[in-house]
């Protein structure tokens, strides 16, 4: 495959041959994107599935590149199947819209489940699956037991308590939510009591019964998975916003830095901070302009 990638990348005529015979272009891996090799391999397998091996064989013959044998094609096909859940998970977490910090643990749990299922049926990619599982455990092992991250997932109507089959994780998350809801409500009642005492010296003391646990039970009992559900539970909504404001990945920040690098060039080295910020905002939000 490196021969196909190199030949089509260096020769315009070779690219035309691929497009003419396969009706698709070959994707070349790049050093700056870890998933580019999998995407490039998947394109080869797609061409074989849609156009048949004869199309790739004719391309290899014309551009004078060695054709893949059946064993290599089988390995590449299983490699793509193995890497597909990881690509999907990273794509979800790196999104900039409709993704919150509470998505992190459900996505990781789902990815682990998919890898476990693939491990039982894999023939040649078992070492790769083991490496991916060990990498996830090393990178996210402590996070999977973090009550705050679990609570962030519980406070998203899409997931609630159905994203994991580990009762201890859900129990720790619910305990975290209840403790913070009660603390918030007590602080709110304390502020209301102080304000009432200032307005009326003989004001009646407020009720000390907390409603937040009942609100949590009502939230969990609702079948809706829409974010609009949070509007019906003010305390839940407030805590959900607090925990889910952050993004689960730094990709959005990296895109911001990339755009900033395109603006802050050597010819604009004396641009002031206000002008720079305005230009960056215009560039990032240009799709919203009419």
Region 93-117: what's the mean pLDDT?
A: 91
**Confidence band of 274 (pLDDT split at 50, 70, 90):** confident
Q: Output the average pLDDT for the chain.
A: 83
Predicted pLDDT at 207: 46
pLDDT digits (tens, 9 = 90+) for 164-223: 989 999 999 999 999 988 776 555 555 555 555 555 544 544 444 446 668 888 999 998
Domain residue spans in the chain? 1-68, 96-248, 251-288
Q: How many CB atoms lie within 10 A of CB 109?
A: 19
Q: Residue 34: name the closest of 95, 72, 87 by CA.
A: 87
Q: What angle do CA 226, 185, 101 make, to 5 degrees?
A: 40
Task: Report the alpha-carbon distance of residue 121 to residue 57 in Å, rounded.
Answer: 29
State residue 223 phi and psi, 5-degree precision: -85, -15
Kindly report, residue by residue over 126-165, the tens digit of the pLDDT: 999 999 999 999 999 889 989 999 999 999 999 999 999 8
In the numeric block, the tokens 């009591």 are attached to 193
Whether 27 contacts 65, CB under 8 Å: no
Q: Which residue has the higher pLDDT, 231 or 9?
A: 231
Is 133 within 8 Å of 139 (Cβ atoms)? no
């Amino acid at each position: 495959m490196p021969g196909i990638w190199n030949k089509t990348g260096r020769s315009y005529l070779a690219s035309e041959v691929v497009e003419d015979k396969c009706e698709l272009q070959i994707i070349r891996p790049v050093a700056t994107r870890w998933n580019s090799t999998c995407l490039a391999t998947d394109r080869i397998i797609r061409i074989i599935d849609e156009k048949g091996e004869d199309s790739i064989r004719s391309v290899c013959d014309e551009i004078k590149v060695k054709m893949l044998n059946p064993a290599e094609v089988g390995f590449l096909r299983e490699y793509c199947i193995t890497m597909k859940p990881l690509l999907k998970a990273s794509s979800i977490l790196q999104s900039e819209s409709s993704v919150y910090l509470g998505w992190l643990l459900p996505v990781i749990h789902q990815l682990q489940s998919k890898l476990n299922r693939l491990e039982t049926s894999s023939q040649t990619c078992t070492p790769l699956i083991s490496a991916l599982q060990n990498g996830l455990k090393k990178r996210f092992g402590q996070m999977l037991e973090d009550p705050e991250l679990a609570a962030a997932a519980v406070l998203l109507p899409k997931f609630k308590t159905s994203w994991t089959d580990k009762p201890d994780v859900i129990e720790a998350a619910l305990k975290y939510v209840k403790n913070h809801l009660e603390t918030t409500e007590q602080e709110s009642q304390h502020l209301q009591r102080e304000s009432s005492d200032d307005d009326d010296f003989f004001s009646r003391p407020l009720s000390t019964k907390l409603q937040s646990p009942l609100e949590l039970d009502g939230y969990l009992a609702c079948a809706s998975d829409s974010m609009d559900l949070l509007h019906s539970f003010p305390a839940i909504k407030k805590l959900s916003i607090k925990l889910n404001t952050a993004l689960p990945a730094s990709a959005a920040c990296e895109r911001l830095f990339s755009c900033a690098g395109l603006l802050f060039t050597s010819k604009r080295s004396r641009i002031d901070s206000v002008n720079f910020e305005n230009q960056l905002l215009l560039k990032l939000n240009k799709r919203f302009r009419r």
